[in-house]
Structure 1
Amino acid sequence: MISMLMFPWLNYANSAQYQNKTALRDDLQGEVFTWPQLAQRIEQTRLSLQRQGLSMGQGIALCGKNSLDLLCFYLAGLQLGLRVLGINPAFPVEKINRLCELNDISLRIDFSSSQYHCRRLKNSAKDDRTFTLTEGYTMTLTSGSTGLPKAAVHSVNAHLANAVGVSELMRFGANDSWLLSLPLYHVSGQGILWRWLQQGGELVLPQADFYASVIGVSHVSLVPTQLQRLLSYLAKHPNKFVCTKHILLGGSQIPLELTRQANRLGIQCYSGYGMTEMGSTVFAKESDETAGVGLPLKGREYRLVDDEIWLKGAGLAEGYWIDQKIRTLTNKQGWFQTKDKGQWLNNELVLLGRLDNMFISGGENIQPEEIENIIQGYELVNQVFILPRDDAEFGQRPVAMIQFNLDADTENNFKSAVEKLKIWLSDKIERFKQPVAYFPLDVEKARQEGTIKISRNLLKTELMTLLGK
């Protein structure tokens, strides 16, 4: 039997200290909920799931963008002891169906802006399960580079343990508010949710004017592109009152100039490193002039083995869901091998890139992220990605797909910016690591099926098109 004490929303609803406190604000619908009101809404959702004939251990899939309904189904599913899988609604129908099949999903719930629709995938006769689960678990799809992504399985306690370290670093407490700025099917969105639940603060669902909601909360999680747009928004609305004091950044390289601009506005940015298997952020620090990601947060442990980052501790998943079982994701020593390359430098972790991104040019190892980090230091660069291009003489050579911060993004301006960058770069990196060609980076096109991260695989496909292959 699941203990109700493990669910923070119930604890807050029954606490004299929190009963009258705002738990959630839905800016889009103009609704405000105290903890008892929210707990009642979640309970109603739990009962509706129960009426679907669902029982402990079965799986539900939530397919949609963030909404109050989706949030309530997420929490109600856990309270009922279900496995809750988030799916990106931008995925093709065939992929959604296959993911539901692989993860033993009994009920899929599709959300639109104003309603939801439940679709039963298995009847009771087919729910002869070979697994035994004693509590609700989240299932979060990893961003695997090939094939269908695996689902990392987390307990409620693992999510709450992950939340502690981030909340301490960013000084997030019961009197603060955090915007649900990232999707719940992504581990970064769930990280926001569990920090809110761990601290008993206020969660805000954004209104149609997203950046108006950003400046209306104390804490927010953004990717660099969103921070860039926020700064542009504030430049256009200089008289807007800004409540935001803390921004957690992730998703790609973080341009120093962006964090400097935010700091001048009184906003502290934080540079983080995390992953799905660890429940979100693992390392983080206040953004500064160095390229590292700081120290491990509370409860996390790390080890560097042949330059590979190994992790364990707070937030580690129970395993991957494979063949109706939770399969361990740790090695024989009890560590999760990330396939990320790093080094310890000046008392912080410095990320050197993915081990599987490296390629060889003329017998020399090329780590794309090393070149990207250097080019990112050029003041006109917003984002850059280095990719290999086949070469008859050297095997492969590095080329750059790059987005400049230009007033007018014309072909002549791009060519001019590239020439200036080449001069700037000439004495900052070995000649064989310097890109042999430059192409414009289309950030929106590079995001795979609505995810917040840029896909190197999509960029490689785009590069082949540009090269006429």
Structure 2
Amino acid sequence: MATLRLVSGTPDEVLAALAGVLDGSGTPFAPLPDDAAGAARAEQAAAPDRPLEDGCAVVLTTSGSSGEPKGVLLSREALIASAQATHDRLGGPGQWLLPMKPYFVGGLQILTRSLVAGTTPVLLGETFTQSAAAMTGARRYTAMVPTQLTRYLETDADALRSFDAIIIGGASMPEPLRAKAAEAGVTAIPAYGMTETGSGCVYAGVPLDGTSILLDDEQRILIKGSTLFSGYRLRPELTAEVLKDGWFRTQDRGELVDRRLRVVGRVDDVVISGGVNVTLTTVQARLLEHPQVKDAVVLGVPDAEWGTRVVAFVVGEPAAIERNALRDWVSETLPRAWAPQDVIRLDALPMLASGKVDRQGLLEGVR
């Protein structure tokens, strides 16, 4: 069996290691985050001193936004298939700007697409506008998380408009943000996917070529295709639980609207609070419709009285996010029982390096 080496998670180191596994000259690797705690988690998940499963090119550590980080095994074939399918959907290969960390799948795939296309990726400099100006490709692409798009629409809208496509992943793209990007003339394409699917595999609700989706009786999203991971590092029981007959059983629920996939939330986003089923993502979406709410996340917290207490963490104008006012706002369109019992105002939602909200950190702060 092959051995696994650890590499620094800097763009140059990851690009060099990635080039080696894609052309067959290098050895499988696991990139380490640039913070000590993240590097320790990644090294533990990668287990470099243990024999490596066959066919693996890269081991990526999941962000751990809602649970224990896992080592995800990605093959050379899956990485290339994802890059090629992305270029086919976007209209052809191009040059990519890297505004995210390359030790997460979104950043890694920007580098993969660059290598497959034979183009030189541009790294994010002091400003997004300066970085965009450094690009020379006939077609120009980038990818980012919703939080970045929100910020750049305020400061770098002209630069955003210069890209042929901007893939938005890592978290769902709120409808107000989608509308704002469209109004600004920015081609922002919401993508659905995860580390286990080799990055985004569904663009604007439509699967990439080579990818199939299915909804089971619980509306759980199942995914099959050439970009799927091979399994979890040294976790055969967990691999067998989520990979069945070639289908990956995600933790997300969805629905098909005009033959397009709409992700409606995680399987565990429906909680029972006071005997009532509450869909947390629906409450969150309603809060984000408030004109003075800039960001929000809604979580269920174990509670002796309610079973699960619905807690909203909100960023916005202080007067607008007073508890009773927001409960009334939610109740205008949703059942009163869905209104959050607690509202916690924050200056900003805590984020992981992957661009996802640190849900575990928020939960630990209120338990």
How high is the TM-score relative to the length of structure 2?
A: 0.86
Cα 1:330/1:361, change in 2 over 3 Å: closer
Are the equivalent residues in 1 in contact too, given 2:170–2:354 (CA < 8 A)?
no
Tell whether 2:264 aligns with 1:344: no
Question: What's the RMSD between the two structures over aligned residues?
Answer: 3.0
What stretches of structure 2 of length at least 5 have no aligned partner? Answer: none
Tell whether 2:359 aligns with 1:447: no
Tell whether 2:219 aligns with 1:219: no
Deviations for 1:194-236, whole angstroms, at most 9, x for unmatched residues? 222333344211222244314655221111111121122137x
Distance in 2, Cα, partners of 1:104 & 1:393: 43
- Aligned residue in 1 for 2:124: 206
Tell whether 2:101 aligns with 1:146: no
- Aligned residue in 2 for 1:415: 319
Cα 1:319/1:396, change in 2 over 3 Å: closer
Deviation at 1:96? 3.6
Alignment of 1:97-136 (within 5 A): 97=40, 99-100=42-43, 103-105=46-48, 133=54
- Aligned residue in 1 for 2:185: 266
Percent identity, aligned pairs only? 28
Tell whether 2:365 aligns with 1:462: yes
- Aligned residue in 1 for 2:32: 87
The number of aligned residues is 359
Alignment of 1:229-244 (within 5 A): 229-234=151-156, 243-244=162-163
Deviation at 1:375? 2.2
What stretches of structure 1 of length at least 5 have no aligned partner? Answer: 1-55, 107-128, 286-293, 405-412, 465-469
- Aligned residue in 1 for 2:308: 396
Amino acid at match of 2:34: P
Amino acid at match of 1:73: A
Deviations for 1:85-139, whole angstroms, at most 9, x for unmatched residues? 12212242xx745643553426xxxxxxxxxxxxxxxxxxxxxx76674x66111
Cα 1:338/1:215, change in 2 over 3 Å: farther
Deviation at 1:390? 4.7
Deviations for 1:437-464, whole angstroms, at most 9, x for unmatched residues? 32123446x223x332112111112334
Deviations for 1:162-212, whole angstroms, at most 9, x for unmatched residues? 123322333342xx3211112111011122122223333442112222443
Distance in 2, Cα, partners of 1:96 & 1:222: 22
Deviation at 1:389? 4.1
3-state SS in 2 of match to 1:197: helix
Are the equivalent residues in 1 in contact too, given 2:144–2:167 (CA < 8 A)?
yes
Cα 1:261/1:398, change in 2 over 3 Å: same
Q: Which has the larger radius of gyration?
A: 1
Deviation at 1:281? 0.6
Distance in 2, Cα, partners of 1:420 & 1:215: 45
Cα 1:325/1:96, change in 2 over 3 Å: farther
3-state SS in 2 of match to 1:244: coil
Amino acid at match of 2:363: K
Cα 1:234/1:334, change in 2 over 3 Å: closer
How high is the TM-score relative to the length of structure 1?
A: 0.69
Tell whether 2:177 aligns with 1:255: no
Are the equivalent residues in 2 in contact too, given 1:279–1:316 (CA < 8 A)?
yes
Deviation at 1:252? 2.5
Tell whether 2:92 aligns with 1:162: no
Are the equivalent residues in 2 in contact too, given 1:318–1:328 (CA < 8 A)?
no
- Aligned residue in 1 for 2:2: 57
Deviation at 1:392? 4.7
